[in-house]
Structure 1
Amino acid sequence: MSVLMGSKRSEVLPFQAMEVLNAANRLEQRGEHVLHMEVGQPGSPLPDQVLRVAQDYLSSGRLGYTEAHGIPALKKSISGYYQQTFGLEVPESRIFATTGSSAGFNLAFLAGFDHGDRVAITSPGYPAYRNIIEVLGLECVEIEVGPETRWSLTPEILERVHRETQLKGVLVASPANPTGTMMSPDALKGLVEACDELGILFISDEIYHGLAYEMKEETALRFTQNSIVVNSFSKYYCMTGWRIGWMVLPEALVRPVERIAQSLYISPPELAQVTASAAFEAVEDYEKIKANYAANRRVLLDHLPKLGFDVVPVDGALYVYAGVSKLTNDSLGFCQKMLAETHVATTPGVDFDLSRGHQYMRFSFAGDQADIKLAVERLEHWLS
């Protein structure tokens, strides 16, 4: 009798942040107190005024399908966000609500590329990019970046890679995961314009917009009408479990994305859409939450170097990406040992960089400030 096997496309590497989360959860089930610094999940609940909108809508007793591209109220709110934040007129017709940013990336890759097309990402980078690209039958081209370019892709590097292997697309995040580094407006403009000149579809991951500490973030929409922008309510807006995000699409891709989304997702969850449309009204509450992240970031930047970690500049997002070469040459084993002996959960760099990740690890500072300080105390004791 033949043995049932999974498909070749399912043979992607595991998402180590989630593997660590699973191990941490097992420790908690045994009654241990685990400090979670492995996933970029905001520790704060929804602001009361946003939660009340969800509660009131839920009490209506009816939740159903919506338009595949999202309810009008949400799209109007998102359009207003671009006007208020960036001074840009973004037509509601180009805005597409998604089931989290994950669905946004699926739709971007499916609508923007054909089987076998090459899509570039930076390394280190979010591992799900690589996995989604490969699962969908595209070729992932990883471009190493480092401190010489502040961990960012430059037009010169992109053009060199494009000459060597013709690219159809490139995906860039600013602020970035795992490094937290950001591109200046001029740097982003140069990269976007290079993509337009080379005929490369630019996908801008802007899910950490709102979470900038050293400079103001910029959107790719300022520089081109040809890019796909992916954003999410998971990070700044603390709606991780609601699974709601959005895209801004070139006009030519609106209908293709809609056709694909109708079959893959039908529509994003109605309750999440209604709640997300109200989140833009709670900026004052969200800025208080962001101030907590900033304080947590400061704690890690002040203490990790004293413990032997080399930290990468943290302009935004929710992470410190730290070199561990002074402590170990195996970040995976180091993180596993740290979790077992200190109950501090972090993510090994091999999740984000297949060639150099053994020298790095990622700390999330999205949690409670008391937990961040306690984690530092545990690590000081453990490493002393």
Structure 2
Amino acid sequence: MVSLSRRGEVEPFHAMDILAEANRLKAQGAPVISMAVGQPSDPAPVAVREAAARALRDGRIGYTDALGTAALREAIAGHYREHYGVDVPAQRIAVTTGSSAAFNLAFLAMFDAGDAVAIASPGYPAYRNIMAALGLDVVEVEMEEAPYLTACQLAATHARKPLRGLLFASPANPTGAIVPHAEMVALLAEARRLGIAVISDEIYHRLNYVGLDATALSLDDDVIVINSFSKYYCMTGWRIGWMVLPEKLVRAVERIQQSLYISPPELSQIAACEAFGASAELDRVKQRYVGNRELLMRRLPELGFALAAPMDGAFYAFCDVSRLTNDSMAFARKMLAEAHVAATPGRDFDTGQGSRFMRFSYAGSHEDMAEALDRIGRWLR
């Protein structure tokens, strides 16, 4: 007898399915270029890898405190002082097994089954899928006049269905849109007025091409901030992230982390301490993204992929492909099979209108991005 839970019926993460097919084709010798997943093509910084090698030689692979090592929590606190000018006590920082674990911990510590939590649509699919698996009521707010959630939209949504929580990202995945400072002030003020708890996903901070990063913590000390070493710091597979928590949530998150994850991996924590000192190396990687961004902003519209949002941050172009197809899922599979270029169909990010959209990641090398666009052009002709 096999018992199956309804939790397993969440929508697949189609980007990962596309990646699996791309890897299968690569194993067969096909020259696939992937623009499907948000993974930097560069390795972690040299100092990070050297610290991990030393720790490995010393046998530093074990459990740590559930909330992370004191050294890494202090390093993260120092990052908030230096990068944002915000004083965050290390005691309010929880180190997590990637940002994915942080979202799990936040949802479990903050909400009960049936609670309504708002997210923007289009948005990162794991938000929706994790919350649905946990029994939360996911309220997707379609972006209309702006590519980010506004205070007016939040108030209107809450009037229709009382919300317990709000999760937003800036820069956002898949759009790359950044919430302007004045709009963030208004959004957080409205959430506080309505009694809505806020989670700010800041995983794409330091990949801002139009201004300076602003953490939501600078505006409201009760906001839960989630970040990760995966994107700017080029440490996806190290599975290391963090949360900044209000004091009253620290112990709740610690208790849940103790049972779900024990602790984040010690090896990755030791290595991550070195990441904040590698900005010169990482900013060179960012400069390549700048060149890739300029290339995609020019070439994608020429090929018929209309930009559906400003490419202000992260490393994504979110495109309206309705001039080319009415089924972006089938289009993505066909493009992969015939042009050997992988991109993500929009259904991942918008279950309602996703068939009109596709997301292209430009985190790869400039040569690969140029070749991918050339291939797409030849294939479309």
So what's the TM-score if we normalise by structure 2?
0.99
Preserved CA contact (<8 Å) 1:182 1:217: no
Preserved CA contact (<8 Å) 1:101 1:232: yes
Aligned counterparts of 2:343 and 2:211: Cα–Cα separation in 1: 26
- Residue 10 of structure 2 aligns with an amino acid whose one-letter code is V
- Residue 22 of structure 1 aligns with an amino acid whose one-letter code is A
**Residue in structure 1 matched with residue 284 of structure 2 by the alignment:** 288
Structure 1, residues 157-216: CA drift from partner, whole Å, max 9, x if none?
101110110100010000000000001111111111111111101000000001011122
Matched, 1:182 2:155: no
**Residue in structure 1 matched with residue 323 of structure 2 by the alignment:** 326
**Residue in structure 2 matched with residue 358 of structure 1 by the alignment:** 355
**Residue in structure 2 matched with residue 343 of structure 1 by the alignment:** 340
What is the number of residues matched between the two proteins? 380
Aligned counterparts of 2:60 and 2:324: Cα–Cα separation in 1: 55
Correspondence 1:108-127 to 2 at 5 A = 108-127=106-125
Preserved CA contact (<8 Å) 1:206 1:229: yes
Deviation at 1:105, TM superposition (A): 0.2
Aligned counterparts of 1:139 and 1:339: Cα–Cα separation in 2: 35
**Residue in structure 2 matched with residue 370 of structure 1 by the alignment:** 367
**Residue in structure 2 matched with residue 214 of structure 1 by the alignment:** 210
Preserved CA contact (<8 Å) 2:320 2:357: yes
Aligned counterparts of 2:285 and 2:4: Cα–Cα separation in 1: 43
Aligned counterparts of 2:148 and 2:212: Cα–Cα separation in 1: 16
Structure 1, residues 91-126: CA drift from partner, whole Å, max 9, x if none?
101110000000000000000011110111010000
**Identity over aligned pairs, percent:** 54
**Secondary structure of 1:17 counterpart:** helix
Correspondence 1:101-250 to 2 at 5 A = 101-146=99-144, 148-149=145-146, 151-250=147-246
Matched, 1:254 2:262: no
Structure 1, residues 63-83: CA drift from partner, whole Å, max 9, x if none?
110001010110111001111
Task: Structure 2: give runs of 5+ residues left out of the alignment.
Answer: none
Aligned counterparts of 1:5 and 1:356: Cα–Cα separation in 2: 33
**Residue in structure 1 matched with residue 37 of structure 2 by the alignment:** 39
Give runs of ≥4 in structure 1 deviating > 2 Å.
Answer: none
**Residue in structure 1 matched with residue 83 of structure 2 by the alignment:** 85
Aligned match for 1:68, one of 66, 91, 94: 66
Preserved CA contact (<8 Å) 2:60 2:266: no
- Residue 297 of structure 2 aligns with an amino acid whose one-letter code is L
Task: Structure 1: give runs of 5+ residues left out of the alignment.
Answer: none
- Residue 61 of structure 1 aligns with an amino acid whose one-letter code is G
**Secondary structure of 1:64 counterpart:** coil
Preserved CA contact (<8 Å) 2:176 2:310: yes
- Residue 121 of structure 1 aligns with an amino acid whose one-letter code is I
Aligned counterparts of 1:62 and 1:248: Cα–Cα separation in 2: 26
Preserved CA contact (<8 Å) 1:220 1:229: yes
**Residue in structure 1 matched with residue 17 of structure 2 by the alignment:** 19
Aligned counterparts of 2:73 and 2:98: Cα–Cα separation in 1: 15
Preserved CA contact (<8 Å) 1:175 1:217: no
**Secondary structure of 1:170 counterpart:** strand
Preserved CA contact (<8 Å) 1:81 1:280: yes
Deviation at 1:217, TM superposition (A): 2.1
Aligned counterparts of 1:115 and 1:82: Cα–Cα separation in 2: 33
